Amino acid sequence: MYKDESIPISQLARGKVLGKAILKIGANHAKTSVQKVFVSKQKKEELKLSTEYKNAKLLMDSLGELKGISIKVAQQIALAMPFLPPAYLEEMNKSFQSVPPINRALVRKVIKQELGEYPQKYFESFELLPFGSASLGQVHYALYKQKKLAIKIQYPGVAKSIKSDLGILKFALTRFAKGRNIDHIMNEISQRLYEEVDYLYEASNLDYFYKNFQHPDIIIPEVFFDISTQRVLASSFIEGINLEQFLATKPSQLKRNHYAQILFDSFFITLYQLQRVHADPNPGNFIFMADDKLGMIDFGCVKKVERAFLESYNTLHLSLIDGVDDATIVEQYLALDMIDRASMQEMIEFYKEVIKPLDRIYIEIFLEDSYCFQEHNDFSKRGFETIVEVQKKQLDSVHKLNEEYIFLDRTLLGYYALFEKMEAKIETKFAKSIMRGFASKESLFLFKDMMQK
């Protein structure tokens, strides 16, 4: 029934899969170059596009064969390299696929390798069939000291393969990057990947939120460090249904609003109170529980921000909401490293041309005290397109781009995409009061009030 041998794990096997694709890509390039000599300009464009599609497809097919880690890489690349041909990004979106589970014997073996003994030594019961699939592993249900736990187990070999995968991938991507230096992007991706395969890193993030984020409607799992390792993450089991199942129950408008509101508020509370946000608003990471509670899981991707950054970020957004003049906004973008110092006229021109569309998107939500995602169900799409446009234009200018700033905006858009699916209406008053409170350094009182409600 299971084919764990279908996950090519050894470096050689993985190298071969991608290597094949790279050879074919090379061949496709050569072929079009020859054809191009003989054809019209318009035809040339068409040829280029079709080659890009073929290459993108080839690369994605091989990433698909690599499964797990590389699909995660693919996601990151799509976000970090907006200049890639659209064909590539399309293929990337299609590439999400579930990885077949590893078999029972291997599950037992991984537990023994990681914890020292087979599961029966630690658990009153341990389901060898997974109930959930993770991007780099699978999740099992277990009973531990009378408690229901979710045990996430990483596929063997995943961590080891990052280095070779990244190397091969960089080689392949350089062809698409058209002479651009992609080192910093690759470094960032690799850093995030190393974090992602270290379940102890995730455990410490999870533990931090468990201990420091107290929200009356949010349940965060507790970590069991004594039975967690780099490849095994044991946390309390959160009982409930996922977004799709929730929507299938035809929940009332009130209920949908309630859940969207919790998510929206929690983004701003954690950003301003903890200087961290859950940066993976994937529907699978939120569990709809009984009594209108929301389970928040998967702290593999947590964004931390510095206080100084947050202050500039906040000042800017309040100025945008208050509609101050362009010159003031430009100064604030300077502080955020989104614009380089030049004459005011030049800066304003650049601002209007490149960054302003993103501002419009940001404040659209906040201009009124509520925003209805049912009426604006194209919002996140417009937002993501605007970010890509801004990134492209900025890449071609001398100005730098503050990745952190873009990252936060993009994460927020991920949350908005969920609200669209939920066809929810959110209230923005509380988020705005957090921002204003933070600006006037009253934030601590504010949070206390909120938590006592």
Ligand X SMILES: Nc1ncnc2c1ncn2[C@@H]1O[C@H](COP(=O)(O)OP(=O)(O)O)[C@@H](O)[C@H]1O
Which residue's Cβ has the minimum distance to ligand X?
132
Cβ closest to ligand X, residue 150 vs residue 361: 150
95 binds, among ligand X, Mg ion, none (CB under 5 to 8 A by kind): none
Q: 52 or 207, CB closer to ligand X? A: 207
Identify the three-state secondary structure at position 293.
coil
Nearest CA among 110, 91, 102 for reference residue 68 = 102
Tokens standing for 190? 């690799």
Identity of the residue, 82 or 300, whose beta carbon is nearer to ligand X in the bound complex:
300
CB atoms near residue 57 (< 10 Å): 17
Of ligand X, Mg ion, none, which one sits near residue 422, judging by CB under 5 to 8 A according to partner kind? none
Q: Which listed option, ligand X, Mg ion, none, makes contact with residue 92 (CB within 5 to 8 Å by class)? A: none
Give φ, ψ of 376 to 5 degrees: -115, 60
What sign results for the dihedral spanned by CA atoms 199, 225, 98, 295?
negative
Name the nearest CA neighbour of 268 among 437, 452, 421. Answer: 437
Q: DSSP 3-state helix, strand, coil percentages of the chain (rounded to 5)?
A: 65, 10, 25
Distance of closest approach, residue 307 Cβ to Mg ion, in angstroms: 29
Residue with tokens 């190298």, as numbered in its chain: 15
Minimum Å gap between C-beta 110 and ligand X is 16
Task: Choose between 211 and 381: whose C-beta lies nearer to ligand X.
Answer: 211
Residues 329, 309: contact at Cβ < 8 Å?
Answer: no
Comparing CB distances to ligand X, the nearer of 134 and 365 is: 134
Least separation in angstroms between residue 132's CB and ligand X is: 3
Please, which residue, 156 or 295, has the CB nearer to Mg ion?
295
- CA-to-CA separations, 278 to 246, 317, 397, in angstroms, rounded: 21, 20, 32
Minimum Å distance from CB 193 to ligand X? 12
Structural contact between residues 433 and 258, judged by C-beta atoms closer than 8 angstroms: no
Alpha carbon 370 to its chain's center: 26
237 binds, among ligand X, Mg ion, none (CB under 5 to 8 A by kind): ligand X
Strands (E), 79-146: 125-126, 132-133, 137-144
Residue 84 interface partner, choices Mg ion, ligand X, none, CB cut-off 5-8 Å depending on type: none
Nearest of 357, 335, 270, 351 to residue 305 by alpha carbon: 270
**Rounded-to-integer distance, Cα 361 and Cα 384, Å:** 10
Residue closer to ligand X (CB basis): 285 or 315: 285
Q: Which residues bind Mg ion (CB under 5 A)?
A: 284-285, 298
Shortest Å distance, C-beta 75 to Mg ion: 12
The closest residue (CB) to Mg ion is 298
Closer of 210 and 351 to Mg ion (Cβ): 210
**Residue 67 and residue 7 in contact, taking contact as beta carbons nearer than 8 Å:** yes
235 binding partner (options ligand X, Mg ion, none; Cβ < 5 to 8 Å by kind): ligand X
Positions touching ligand X (CB under 6 A) are: 132, 134-136, 139, 150, 152, 221, 235, 237-238, 284-285, 297-298, 300
State the binding partner of 411 from ligand X, Mg ion, none, CB within 5 to 8 A by kind: none
Choosing among ligand X, Mg ion, none, which partner's interface includes residue 300 (Cβ < 5 to 8 Å by kind)?
ligand X
Report the nearest approach of ligand X to the CB of residue 283 (Å): 9
CB of 305 to ligand X, least distance (A): 21
CB of 229 to Mg ion, least distance (A): 19
**Based on C-alpha coordinates, what's the Rg of the chain?**
24
